[in-house]
Amino acid sequence: PPGVINMVPGPGPVVAPPALNHLDLGGIHFTGSTYVFSTIWLAVGSDIRKYYSYPRIVGETGGKDFIVAHASADVDALVAALVRGAFEYQGQKCSAASRAYIPDSIWSRVKDRLACEVGEIRMGPVTDFRNFMGAVIDAKAFGTISDYIAHAKATSGFEIVTGGRCDSSQGYFIEPTIVQSQDPKSKLMQEEIFGPVLTLHVYPESKFDEALDLCDQTSPYALTGSIFSTDRQAIVKAMNRLRHAAGNFYVNDKPTGAVVGQQPFGGARASGTNDKAGSWLNLERWVSPRTIKETFLPPTDFRYPYMAEE
Protein backbone atom coordinates (compact mmCIF):
# COMPACT_ATOMS: atom_id res chain seq x y z
CA PRO A 1 0.00 0.00 0.00
CA PRO A 2 1.11 3.61 -0.51
CA GLY A 3 3.28 4.86 2.32
CA VAL A 4 4.67 1.51 3.42
CA ILE A 5 8.06 2.44 1.99
CA ASN A 6 9.09 6.05 1.55
CA MET A 7 12.31 7.30 -0.03
CA VAL A 8 13.63 10.43 1.66
CA PRO A 9 17.04 11.28 0.15
CA GLY A 10 19.37 13.65 1.93
CA PRO A 11 22.64 14.03 3.82
CA GLY A 12 22.97 11.85 6.90
CA PRO A 13 23.39 14.78 9.33
CA VAL A 14 20.08 16.20 8.04
CA VAL A 15 18.00 13.03 7.75
CA ALA A 16 19.18 11.18 10.86
CA PRO A 17 18.33 13.56 13.77
CA PRO A 18 14.55 13.72 13.14
CA ALA A 19 14.42 9.92 12.94
CA LEU A 20 16.63 9.28 15.96
CA ASN A 21 14.71 11.79 18.08
CA HIS A 22 11.23 10.50 17.23
CA LEU A 23 9.49 8.64 20.03
CA ASP A 24 8.07 6.09 17.57
CA LEU A 25 11.47 5.02 16.24
CA GLY A 26 11.14 1.28 15.71
CA GLY A 27 14.41 0.35 14.05
CA ILE A 28 17.40 1.38 12.00
CA HIS A 29 18.92 -0.52 9.09
CA PHE A 30 22.24 1.17 8.35
CA THR A 31 24.88 0.64 5.69
CA GLY A 32 27.98 2.78 5.97
CA SER A 33 31.07 3.35 8.06
CA THR A 34 31.78 1.63 11.35
CA TYR A 35 32.27 4.98 13.08
CA VAL A 36 28.92 6.40 11.97
CA PHE A 37 27.11 3.19 12.92
CA SER A 38 28.61 3.20 16.41
CA THR A 39 27.64 6.87 16.73
CA ILE A 40 24.03 6.05 15.83
CA TRP A 41 23.96 3.16 18.30
CA LEU A 42 25.38 5.39 21.02
CA ALA A 43 22.75 8.05 20.34
CA VAL A 44 19.90 5.53 20.55
CA GLY A 45 21.31 3.83 23.64
CA SER A 46 21.87 7.03 25.57
CA ASP A 47 18.19 8.02 25.11
CA ILE A 48 16.66 4.55 25.21
CA ARG A 49 14.07 5.45 27.87
CA LYS A 50 12.36 8.03 25.67
CA TYR A 51 11.23 5.60 22.97
CA TYR A 52 7.90 3.79 23.02
CA SER A 53 9.71 0.55 22.16
CA TYR A 54 13.26 -0.74 21.98
CA PRO A 55 14.49 0.18 18.48
CA ARG A 56 16.03 -2.66 16.53
CA ILE A 57 19.42 -1.75 15.15
CA VAL A 58 20.96 -3.55 12.18
CA GLY A 59 24.17 -2.48 10.53
CA GLU A 60 26.45 -3.48 7.68
CA THR A 61 29.61 -1.44 7.98
CA GLY A 62 33.27 -1.71 7.01
CA GLY A 63 35.65 -4.52 6.24
CA LYS A 64 39.31 -5.39 5.92
CA ASP A 65 38.64 -8.42 3.81
CA PHE A 66 41.27 -11.06 3.27
CA ILE A 67 42.58 -13.80 1.05
CA VAL A 68 44.71 -16.49 2.67
CA ALA A 69 46.73 -18.70 0.35
CA HIS A 70 47.99 -22.15 1.28
CA ALA A 71 51.12 -23.58 -0.31
CA SER A 72 48.90 -25.89 -2.38
CA ALA A 73 46.96 -23.01 -3.95
CA ASP A 74 46.47 -22.83 -7.71
CA VAL A 75 48.58 -19.75 -8.49
CA ASP A 76 46.63 -18.68 -11.57
CA ALA A 77 43.30 -18.90 -9.75
CA LEU A 78 44.76 -17.10 -6.73
CA VAL A 79 46.10 -14.23 -8.83
CA ALA A 80 42.81 -13.82 -10.69
CA ALA A 81 40.97 -13.62 -7.36
CA LEU A 82 43.45 -11.11 -5.95
CA VAL A 83 43.08 -8.84 -8.98
CA ARG A 84 39.32 -9.08 -9.24
CA GLY A 85 38.71 -9.02 -5.51
CA ALA A 86 40.93 -6.01 -4.87
CA PHE A 87 40.43 -3.84 -7.94
CA GLU A 88 36.89 -4.30 -9.27
CA TYR A 89 34.97 -1.08 -8.66
CA GLN A 90 38.33 0.46 -7.68
CA GLY A 91 38.15 -1.48 -4.42
CA GLN A 92 35.31 0.78 -3.31
CA LYS A 93 33.04 -1.83 -1.79
CA CYS A 94 32.94 -3.25 1.68
CA SER A 95 33.73 -6.78 0.50
CA ALA A 96 36.81 -5.90 -1.56
CA ALA A 97 40.00 -7.86 -0.88
CA SER A 98 42.26 -5.50 1.04
CA ARG A 99 44.84 -7.82 2.62
CA ALA A 100 46.39 -11.15 1.69
CA TYR A 101 48.66 -13.75 3.23
CA ILE A 102 50.90 -15.60 0.77
CA PRO A 103 53.32 -18.46 1.62
CA ASP A 104 56.94 -17.84 0.67
CA SER A 105 57.09 -21.06 -1.37
CA ILE A 106 54.78 -19.64 -4.07
CA TRP A 107 55.41 -15.92 -3.60
CA SER A 108 57.85 -15.46 -6.49
CA ARG A 109 55.36 -16.98 -8.94
CA VAL A 110 52.46 -15.02 -7.46
CA LYS A 111 54.45 -11.78 -7.60
CA ASP A 112 55.40 -12.22 -11.25
CA ARG A 113 51.84 -13.12 -12.26
CA LEU A 114 50.39 -10.21 -10.30
CA ALA A 115 52.73 -7.73 -11.96
CA CYS A 116 51.78 -9.11 -15.36
CA GLU A 117 48.03 -9.15 -14.75
CA VAL A 118 47.82 -5.76 -13.05
CA GLY A 119 49.86 -4.30 -15.88
CA GLU A 120 47.09 -5.37 -18.27
CA ILE A 121 44.35 -3.48 -16.39
CA ARG A 122 42.77 -0.73 -18.45
CA MET A 123 41.55 2.39 -16.69
CA GLY A 124 39.21 5.03 -18.03
CA PRO A 125 35.55 6.02 -18.35
CA VAL A 126 33.16 3.39 -17.05
CA THR A 127 31.04 3.86 -20.18
CA ASP A 128 33.74 1.94 -22.05
CA PHE A 129 33.27 -1.67 -20.97
CA ARG A 130 36.81 -2.53 -22.01
CA ASN A 131 38.00 -0.60 -18.96
CA PHE A 132 38.38 -2.70 -15.83
CA MET A 133 38.72 0.32 -13.53
CA GLY A 134 37.54 3.90 -13.38
CA ALA A 135 38.12 6.83 -11.06
CA VAL A 136 37.46 6.73 -7.33
CA ILE A 137 34.29 8.40 -6.14
CA ASP A 138 35.42 11.90 -5.13
CA ALA A 139 38.23 14.17 -3.96
CA LYS A 140 37.91 13.10 -0.33
CA ALA A 141 38.33 9.42 -1.22
CA PHE A 142 41.22 10.27 -3.54
CA GLY A 143 42.99 12.11 -0.73
CA THR A 144 42.47 9.35 1.81
CA ILE A 145 43.69 6.58 -0.49
CA SER A 146 46.63 8.67 -1.70
CA ASP A 147 47.69 9.23 1.91
CA TYR A 148 47.88 5.47 2.54
CA ILE A 149 50.02 4.99 -0.56
CA ALA A 150 52.27 7.88 0.47
CA HIS A 151 52.63 6.31 3.91
CA ALA A 152 53.75 3.03 2.35
CA LYS A 153 56.28 4.82 0.15
CA ALA A 154 57.73 6.79 3.06
CA THR A 155 57.83 4.03 5.68
CA SER A 156 60.41 1.27 5.97
CA GLY A 157 59.04 -2.25 5.87
CA PHE A 158 56.83 -1.63 2.82
CA GLU A 159 57.52 -2.37 -0.83
CA ILE A 160 55.34 -1.15 -3.68
CA VAL A 161 55.01 -4.27 -5.81
CA THR A 162 53.03 -2.55 -8.54
CA GLY A 163 51.17 0.72 -9.06
CA GLY A 164 51.37 3.56 -6.58
CA ARG A 165 50.66 6.53 -8.86
CA CYS A 166 47.77 8.92 -8.32
CA ASP A 167 46.44 11.52 -10.78
CA SER A 168 43.58 13.95 -10.19
CA SER A 169 44.15 16.11 -13.28
CA GLN A 170 41.22 14.54 -15.18
CA GLY A 171 39.17 12.64 -12.64
CA TYR A 172 40.34 10.99 -9.44
CA PHE A 173 42.41 8.11 -10.78
CA ILE A 174 44.55 5.84 -8.63
CA GLU A 175 46.56 3.00 -10.10
CA PRO A 176 45.80 -0.50 -8.84
CA THR A 177 48.42 -0.73 -6.11
CA ILE A 178 49.90 -3.77 -4.41
CA VAL A 179 52.01 -3.26 -1.30
CA GLN A 180 54.10 -5.90 0.44
CA SER A 181 54.29 -5.40 4.19
CA GLN A 182 56.98 -7.05 6.29
CA ASP A 183 54.94 -6.34 9.41
CA PRO A 184 51.72 -8.41 9.35
CA LYS A 185 50.11 -5.91 11.72
CA SER A 186 51.11 -2.72 9.95
CA LYS A 187 48.69 0.14 9.40
CA LEU A 188 47.93 -0.99 5.85
CA MET A 189 47.21 -4.54 7.01
CA GLN A 190 44.74 -3.39 9.68
CA GLU A 191 42.84 -0.34 8.48
CA GLU A 192 40.08 -0.15 5.89
CA ILE A 193 41.32 1.86 2.89
CA PHE A 194 38.28 1.51 0.61
CA GLY A 195 40.25 1.91 -2.58
CA PRO A 196 42.43 0.04 -5.10
CA VAL A 197 45.16 -0.89 -2.61
CA LEU A 198 45.96 -4.51 -1.73
CA THR A 199 48.46 -5.07 1.08
CA LEU A 200 49.98 -8.51 1.45
CA HIS A 201 52.26 -10.30 3.87
CA VAL A 202 54.51 -13.20 2.90
CA TYR A 203 54.68 -15.89 5.59
CA PRO A 204 56.89 -19.01 5.92
CA GLU A 205 55.14 -22.01 4.38
CA SER A 206 55.67 -23.98 7.60
CA LYS A 207 53.67 -21.41 9.59
CA PHE A 208 50.25 -21.76 7.99
CA ASP A 209 48.57 -22.07 11.40
CA GLU A 210 50.24 -18.88 12.59
CA ALA A 211 49.14 -17.12 9.40
CA LEU A 212 45.53 -18.09 10.13
CA ASP A 213 45.87 -16.68 13.65
CA LEU A 214 47.33 -13.45 12.25
CA CYS A 215 44.45 -13.15 9.83
CA ASP A 216 41.92 -13.67 12.62
CA GLN A 217 43.52 -11.30 15.11
CA THR A 218 44.93 -8.45 13.00
CA SER A 219 41.81 -6.57 11.96
CA PRO A 220 38.72 -5.61 13.99
CA TYR A 221 36.51 -6.40 11.00
CA ALA A 222 34.85 -9.67 10.04
CA LEU A 223 32.97 -9.26 6.78
CA THR A 224 34.39 -11.43 3.97
CA GLY A 225 37.40 -13.64 3.40
CA SER A 226 38.79 -16.45 1.27
CA ILE A 227 41.03 -19.48 1.48
CA PHE A 228 42.87 -20.74 -1.60
CA SER A 229 44.07 -24.33 -1.40
CA THR A 230 43.81 -27.70 -3.11
CA ASP A 231 44.45 -29.46 0.20
CA ARG A 232 41.12 -30.35 1.81
CA GLN A 233 42.58 -30.55 5.29
CA ALA A 234 43.97 -27.03 4.94
CA ILE A 235 40.61 -25.78 3.70
CA VAL A 236 38.74 -27.29 6.65
CA LYS A 237 41.32 -25.94 9.07
CA ALA A 238 40.94 -22.43 7.63
CA MET A 239 37.15 -22.65 7.72
CA ASN A 240 37.27 -23.55 11.42
CA ARG A 241 40.04 -21.21 12.52
CA LEU A 242 38.54 -18.24 10.65
CA ARG A 243 34.91 -18.90 11.56
CA HIS A 244 34.66 -15.57 13.41
CA ALA A 245 36.83 -13.60 10.96
CA ALA A 246 34.35 -13.51 8.07
CA GLY A 247 30.57 -13.61 7.94
CA ASN A 248 30.85 -14.58 4.26
CA PHE A 249 33.65 -17.07 3.66
CA TYR A 250 34.77 -18.26 0.24
CA VAL A 251 36.74 -21.34 -0.77
CA ASN A 252 38.91 -20.93 -3.88
CA ASP A 253 37.02 -17.80 -4.90
CA LYS A 254 37.37 -14.06 -4.45
CA PRO A 255 35.71 -12.61 -1.33
CA THR A 256 33.25 -10.51 -3.34
CA GLY A 257 30.11 -11.00 -5.38
CA ALA A 258 27.52 -12.45 -2.99
CA VAL A 259 24.33 -13.06 -4.97
CA VAL A 260 21.30 -11.48 -3.29
CA GLY A 261 18.75 -14.13 -2.41
CA GLN A 262 21.28 -16.95 -2.75
CA GLN A 263 24.19 -15.94 -0.52
CA PRO A 264 22.95 -14.05 2.57
CA PHE A 265 25.43 -11.25 3.20
CA GLY A 266 26.82 -9.69 6.36
CA GLY A 267 29.59 -9.82 8.93
CA ALA A 268 30.15 -9.36 12.64
CA ARG A 269 32.71 -7.69 14.89
CA ALA A 270 33.32 -4.15 13.58
CA SER A 271 31.67 -5.09 10.27
CA GLY A 272 28.15 -5.00 11.66
CA THR A 273 25.44 -7.09 13.26
CA ASN A 274 25.63 -10.01 10.77
CA ASP A 275 21.89 -10.02 10.15
CA LYS A 276 22.38 -11.36 6.61
CA ALA A 277 20.85 -9.01 4.06
CA GLY A 278 19.08 -10.81 1.23
CA SER A 279 17.57 -13.55 3.37
CA TRP A 280 14.72 -14.36 5.74
CA LEU A 281 17.19 -13.93 8.60
CA ASN A 282 17.20 -10.19 7.96
CA LEU A 283 13.47 -10.00 7.32
CA GLU A 284 12.73 -11.47 10.75
CA ARG A 285 14.48 -8.51 12.36
CA TRP A 286 11.73 -6.23 11.04
CA VAL A 287 8.64 -8.08 12.16
CA SER A 288 7.08 -8.11 15.60
CA PRO A 289 5.21 -11.38 16.12
CA ARG A 290 2.03 -11.49 18.16
CA THR A 291 0.47 -14.59 19.68
CA ILE A 292 -3.33 -14.81 20.02
CA LYS A 293 -5.14 -17.37 22.15
CA GLU A 294 -8.89 -17.86 21.97
CA THR A 295 -10.64 -20.20 24.41
CA PHE A 296 -13.93 -21.68 23.21
CA LEU A 297 -14.87 -23.41 26.49
CA PRO A 298 -13.64 -21.05 29.19
CA PRO A 299 -13.56 -22.39 32.75
CA THR A 300 -16.24 -21.18 35.13
CA ASP A 301 -14.52 -22.22 38.35
CA PHE A 302 -11.14 -20.95 39.47
CA ARG A 303 -10.42 -24.30 41.16
CA TYR A 304 -8.31 -26.82 39.24
CA PRO A 305 -9.48 -30.45 39.13
CA TYR A 306 -6.58 -31.63 41.28
CA MET A 307 -7.81 -29.34 44.05
CA ALA A 308 -11.06 -31.27 44.52
CA GLU A 309 -11.62 -32.81 47.94
CA GLU A 310 -11.55 -36.59 48.04
Report d(CA 35, CA 256) in Å as an integer: 23
Whole-number pLDDT of residue 112: 97
Closest to 63 measured CA to CA, from 96, 101, 103: 96
Cα separation, 261 vs 148, whole angstroms: 35
Residues in CB range of 123: below 8 A, 6 or more apart: 131, 132, 133, 134, 173, 175
- pLDDT on residue 259: 85
Q: Are residues 42 and 86 in the same domain?
A: no
Per-residue pLDDT of the chain (310 residues; tens, 9 = 90+): 888 888 999 999 999 999 999 999 999 999 999 999 999 999 999 999 999 999 999 999 999 999 999 999 999 999 999 999 999 999 999 999 999 999 999 999 999 999 999 999 999 999 999 999 999 999 999 999 999 999 999 999 999 999 999 999 999 999 999 999 999 999 999 999 999 999 999 999 999 999 999 999 999 999 999 999 999 999 999 999 999 999 999 999 999 999 878 899 999 999 999 999 989 999 999 999 999 999 999 999 999 989 988 7
pLDDT of residue 253: 98
Sign of the CA dihedral running 271, 272, 274, 280: negative
**Confidence at residue 53, expressed as pLDDT on a 0 to 100 scale:** 96
**Parallel/antiparallel/unpaired status of strands 158-162 and 224-228:** unpaired
93 and 181, same structural domain?
yes
Domain with 27, as residue range(s), is 12-61
CATH of the domain at 166: 3.40.309.10
Instruction: Tell me the C-alpha to C-alpha distance, in Å, between residue 57 and each of 26, 82, 100, 191.
Output: 9, 33, 32, 24
Structural domain includes residue 256: no
Buried b (16+ CB within 10 A) or exposed e, 157-176: ebeebbbbebeeeeebbbbb
- Give 58's DSSP letter: E
Count of structural domains within the chain: 2
Backbone dihedral region of 62: left (phi > 0), alpha (psi from -120 to 50 degrees) or beta?
A: beta
Is the domain of 48 the same as that of 92?
no
Residues annotated as catalytic (active site), given as ranges? 60, 94
Single residue among 198, 224, 251 that ends a domain in this structure: 251
